[in-house]
Amino acid sequence: MEFCDECGSMMKTDGDKWVCPNGHEKLRDEAKEAAMTTTEGQESGEVVDVSDVDDSEIGPTVEQKCPECDEVRTVRYEMKQIRSADESETRFFTCTVCGHKWREDDH
């Protein structure tokens, strides 16, 4: 990945040069690009079957009000970064009683 020296935008390749969305250009450097890590050729991960795993063995839990049960229950949670890196993670919850799933974002 290359960033523009002028405006900081992420650049894309265009033949023998890097070009940013604002039109700035710079020549590509083969030696520098050889050291870059790419996702090209990487395989996607396997799907993990957890259907035979006890709920208590899957991830951390917390006491929280389930919107479906309308009562405080033990729920499993997971946090994922699904928005830009400068924003907080999204929390995903699953009620261990009814299986209802929901998410929470900081605003």
Instruction: List residues forming the annotated binding site for Zn(2+).
Output: 4, 7, 20, 66, 69, 95, 98
Structure token pair of residue 90: 């999204």
In this predicted model, what pLDDT tens digit does every residue of 84-97 receive, in sequence order?
777 778 888 889 89
Number of C-beta neighbours around residue 82 at 10 A: 11
What the block records as the tokens of 66 is 């389930």
Q: For 16-36, what is each residue's pLDDT tens digit?
A: 999 999 999 999 988 888 887
pTM as predicted = 0.45
* Sign (positive or negative) of CA dihedral 62, 65, 71, 72: positive
| CATH for 55-104 (2.20.25.10, 1.10.240.10, 3.50.50.60, 2.60.40.420) | 2.20.25.10
Both tokens of 27, joined, read 């020549």
Distance of CA 61 to the CA centre of its chain: 21
- The residue ranges of every structural domain in the chain are 2-34, 55-104
Summarize the annotated binding site as residue ranges.
4, 7, 20, 66, 69, 95, 98
